[in-house]
Amino acid sequence: MIAMNDTILTGLQLTGSLHLGNYLGAVLPMVDIQKAGHTVYMYVPDIHGLTADVDYSSFYERTVEFLRLYAAAGLDLTSDDLIPFRGSHVPAHSELAWILTCFTGMGELERMTQYKDKSSRANTHISSGLLTYPTLMAADILLYGAKYVPVGEDQQQHLELTRVLARRLNNRFGECLVEPADHEANLAFFETENAVRIRSLSDPTSKMSKSVSDPKGTIGLLDDPEDARKKVMSAVTDDLGSISFDFVNQPGISNLIQIKALLEGKKIADVAAEYVGHTQYGQFKSDVADAVVDFLSNLQAEFARINPDSVTKELHTGEEKANAAANETLYRLQRAIGLRQ
């Protein structure tokens, strides 16, 4: 059972549109941890999005859209324990990121798998912000004394670097930063079987991504439900003639099992057990598609009822709280380093 009164930080970048993988891997855990009575800093990392070549003019509208989707998914934005905010409206994020960058080695940043992957795919321009992104993420976590951070499989390295930096500065300047729990402790805290990483329906060896063009493999939360059904029915699987949760040998089937289990609130093993002995995939895919269609239809109906003005009001309230908490941590570290008296 999740313990009470732990501080949690979570958030999603504004690049692209929210998709099913974002919901299952990040939004759904947010709903669960809020219900458990925690203080949740729900970060909209708009400044992170500057590392990608995107339409910056849409950031504001996308922020409101994201928060409306969060509310539609079950998050209570009016709760005192849920603090929504944008990084661009809390200057301490940028300042702490710079301090952490100065205590981080080039080799540590160049070894980050995400940096190597994204820079290898860049056509010409490779932003230096892509290299230093992990120290900005570390600042996000450390400013609020967050003990638990629900990160995906691809963010584990960044979480570990955050822990390293917290120890590094604490050892040198005294206990001024809270070191977050490691990945295994996070999985235990959120009572998760494995780190959730929903894969592309067209390429189950890659994750479903809002920042990569993959129209056939990605189900957006605002997609037409019947279009989503078609994507599930045409999802890449295999010719093994069995339905098992085995990401090594059956990544496509395993991805669909995971989606169905999470949408229906079931254990992965229980969903897999429903299809023992099935040698055809048609009925299985149809069942997964039904679960996706039901989810999208309900979510979108609720989304339409969320007033954008009410979301903006809660965002401004959250940013006042976030600034107060972040500045306290930043000033404590600045005094420890010698930047302030």
In the DSSP assignment, the letter for residue 337 is H
DSSP readout, 225-248? Answer: HHHHHHHHHT----SS-----BTT
The span from the CA of 111 to the CA of 134, in Å, is 11
Q: Checking phi first, is residue 82 left (phi over 0); if not, alpha (psi -120 to 50) or beta?
A: beta
Q: Of 35, 116, 207, 260, which one is the catalytic site residue? A: 207
Q: Of 210, 231, 260, 285, which one is the catalytic site residue? A: 210
Provide the Cα torsion 228, 66, 266, 249; round to 10°.
60
CB 51 within 8 A of CB 13: no
The span from the CA of 320 to the CA of 315, in Å, is 9
DSSP-based three-state secondary structure for 74: coil
Q: Of 35, 116, 118, 231, which one is the catalytic site residue? A: 118
> Among this protein's residues, is 118 annotated catalytic?
yes
Q: Backbone phi, then psi, for 288, in 5-degree steps?
A: -65, -45
CB 145 within 8 A of CB 5: no
Provide the Cα torsion 230, 235, 238, 241; round to 10°.
-40
Given the structure tokens 């500065």, which residue do they identify? 169
CA angle, residues 58, 63, 66, in degrees to nearest 5: 120
> Among this protein's residues, is 313 annotated catalytic?
no
> Among this protein's residues, is 210 annotated catalytic?
yes
Give the amino acid at 12.
L
Please count the other Cβ atoms lying within 10 Å of the Cβ belonging to residue 204.
23
H helical segments located in 122-200: 128-142, 156-173, 183-189
Two structure tokens written together for 229: 């059904």
DSSP-based three-state secondary structure for 211: coil
Give the active site residues.
Answer: 118, 207, 210
